[in-house]
Chain A
Amino acid sequence: MEGILLDRINFSYGNGNAVKDFSLAAARGEFIALMGPNAAGKSTLLKLACGILKPSSGAVKLSGRDLSAYAPKERARLISYLPQTPDVNIPFRVRELVDMGLYHGGGMEPEEALRAAGLLEKASSHITELSGGERKRAFVAMLLVQGSSIFLLDEPLANLDMKYQIELIRLLKGIIEGKNISVIMALHDINMAFHFHRVCVVKDGLMRALGKPEEVITKGLIRDVFEVEAEEFPGLRLKP
């Protein structure tokens, strides 16, 4: 079953194309990693996928219907997006933040989401006081309360300790599996890619590869896309 479809979209910020003729379909319950070097167009793709940016040509479709045809409230039930660094200048309490998921959504109970995110005892702390990992989990709890069927996450693992990275991935997988939620997550740590069903590799706004991680991530691709020799990753057993 199809969750979200990016259908041959093009987009430019005015100085050269940021995304070129890009197509991707994510099925319900699918866990996709979006990989590529810095400035490859990962964030742009996620913003296009959730409608913050409008493609200059092509279309984004949710359940076969064009994304722009949804009212903001309807859209919020279907798709949600977590920017790499959400603004936290206003010292909301964790519970206040998580409750915002209720505005136009209807997923988990806030209490339940906080428990799932392991933040129940931090419910009345200010988000500004949380560690980086806790803060990411607080926002994920908000998404769970909103309860959309597609999660677009922009580098949620960035700047996290290995322990928190694994915890967050486990949390997402644990909650999402069996709920038919699709996840597209921008990622730059190759090690993490192996937790995903599929990996989509982009560079310069173009899709370079798409498929199961162990098939896609090869020495050749790493050399080609990331401009590094794969010998730098002695722990990974990669195809040539």
Chain B
Amino acid sequence: MRRILLIAAFVLSLCGAALAAPPARIVSLAPNVTEILYELGAGKRVAGVTDFCDWPPEAKEKSKVGGMINPSIEAIVSLRPDMVVMTTDGNPEEVGRKLSALGIQTHVLKARRLKELPDGIREIGKAISAEKEARALADRMEKAIEAYGQRGGKREDAPEKTLFVIWPQPLIVAGPSTTIDDAMGLLGLENMAKQAPTEYPRWSLEDVIRNSPEIIFIARGHADAEGFSRPLLEKLHGVDAVKNKRVYYVSDRILRLGPRIVEGIEEMEGLITGKDAKGGE
């Protein structure tokens, strides 16, 4: 009997320790998560990142665990993490299941939209014992987003028709239910593809020519965005945005649901208003 009590006490103390101690070795399975972790001051605690985690620059020095869809479970386990942070957006569920089965604690960032991000950050803060930093960051972002919400509505009487090009050939654009759509809403722009049935639809060139967007953004997600989009812009030479030279290349900050997304929105705003954005390239 005494022995059983002893064991119970021992197990309880273990659990208590695990609950109390902040995770010291964190693996991030998505670039936006990595950015959030660094922004919360947990950069030193990050033990591993994906091949796609390129920001902040020091994240590139961390151990790599592979891609987002196919991270190496072995590589993750060998880093002996006490917490793996993943996303519903980029990581398959079974990766989380497998890690849990191996006794590794996971936290999932469920935010998919701009408005959901601050709460997502707060939850990550709780999970990695950085609640104070998380609250500060989340509040700051909420405030900035709210400010846009008020400004954006007043900027123009009629919202300008805008096309956000994710990939130029074949033409793939940002549809509804995306952070980009959210950003356009904040900036008082009308997403031309807002009626699409999917988030990132292949889009008809005929429709672009006929509806003639006033502004075109092109994501600079790859090495030679200008080169790849040249044939597209040649085809669209009669469209208002091209005629009026309102085609803008934007960095991938706006594509990542992380702390820099506000800078991304600022960058887009700076491009369309002609003002220099704070974080512009």
Chains A and B directly touch (beta carbon < 8 Å): no
Using CB atoms and an 8 Å cutoff, list the residues of chain B in contact with chain A. none
Q: Which A residues fall within an 8 A CB radius of B?
A: none
